[in-house]
Amino acid sequence: MKFVKRARTLVAVLTLGVGACTGGTAGGSVVYSPPPPLALVALVDPSSGQMPAQLQQLEDVIRASASPNEAVVVMMLAPGSRSYAVRPGDSLSLIASANGLTLSEVEAANPQLGPVSGRNWSLIHSGERVTLPDRSAPSPLLLVSKAPAGPPPPALVRLPQQPNNPTDYQKAQYQHAVTAGNATNAARIEAWRASARQALVPWQSQVTAQLESKAGSANSVDGPSGGQAVAASIGAGLVTLAGLSGRRMLLLLGGGGVVPAPLAPRSMAGVTVVVANVSDPAAAAAWTAAARNAGAAGVSALDPALTQLQLAQVVNS
């Protein structure tokens, strides 16, 4: 969600000559390549009145920052879903029919195969995993949304190459050109970031309003969500993330108090995991170990106090 921090921006500017930009333009400029957008799957607990507070936490995260083309999928913890590996010749309609489901039910359970990832529902690939929902239970999906693309990235000045065996005068000219180019590029990137932030405000407002509506109409489920619901929901969340591009993050706003079941090796490869609202230090340690053993790119376990203070920063960093 968060745009490049000022320090990261400076690093990007300083390394433009070695691949921080893609594509050339006329006049010796290059096009700035922004950092990957966030692809966020958030799991919330519908039991015992937990969901409204957790959705409020998610609202705060989205309100704090957003990135162009960001994808947000919000799910309730629910047992019963399973996954299916696509085979050659499969289509979503064939998969649905073979498993006693309707096409609309399968599409609803797999937002990553549709517009949120820029795809056509009719195109699936062998080896992809598809979530098969439990039709006897309500759909766990609360929200699926994608931020607009925002303004086009700016053209930046291409930094000069350092001359071979330069004279003192040439060294001074080179340093002057680099300093001037970095200043110009930093200003253009900052202007783009400001424009992008402004362009995303309506989307942020729309998503937070939808979350507020969901929180206001939430119906509690009797009893806490147990390990089966947490495990099934994590599996569905990882299937969804596998089909989304960008910086992939699994955010457990609910369910962190349940000691996680063993996760398959590499099942979280490339995914950053954030487990929020974890009161028990033993559960936090168990989640950290489980996510690392599953190959997570990073893992943070936050107690309730840190969740309130740092969740937006952790997700958006």
Q: What is the pLDDT of residues 95-141, one digit of tens each?
A: 999 999 999 999 999 999 999 999 999 999 999 999 999 988 888 99
Q: Is residue 238 over pLDDT 70?
A: yes
What pLDDT does 148 receive?
Answer: 96
Q: Is residue 199 over pLDDT 90?
A: yes
What pLDDT does 18 receive?
Answer: 36
Q: Which of 73-82, 173-182, 210-219 has the lowest mean pLDDT?
A: 210-219
Position 245, amino acid: S
Q: How far is CA 52 from CA 73, 157, 218, in A?
A: 16, 48, 7
94-106 CB burial, b ≥16 within 10 A, e <16: ebbeeeebeeebb
* Pairing outcome for strands 141-146 and 21-25: unpaired
Residues 38, 67 contacting (CB under 8 angstroms):
yes
Q: Is residue 224 over pLDDT 60?
A: no
Record the pTM. Answer: 0.87
Q: Is residue 28 over pLDDT 80?
A: no
127-155 CB burial, b ≥16 within 10 A, e <16: ebbbbbbbeeeeebbbbbbbbeebeebbb
What pLDDT does 265 receive?
Answer: 92
What pLDDT does 12 receive?
Answer: 41
Q: Is residue 64 over pLDDT 90?
A: yes
What pLDDT does 314 receive?
Answer: 97
Radius of gyration of the chain (CA): 22
Nearest one of 140, 135, 129, 124 to 97, comparing CA atoms: 135
Q: How far is CA 9 from CA 123, 141, 158, 183, 185, in A?
A: 37, 36, 15, 11, 9
CA distance 143 to 291: 25
- Average pLDDT, whole number, for the chain? 89
Position 7, amino acid: A
CA distance 30 to 32: 7
Residues 79, 229 contacting (CB under 8 angstroms):
yes
What pLDDT does 20 receive?
Answer: 43
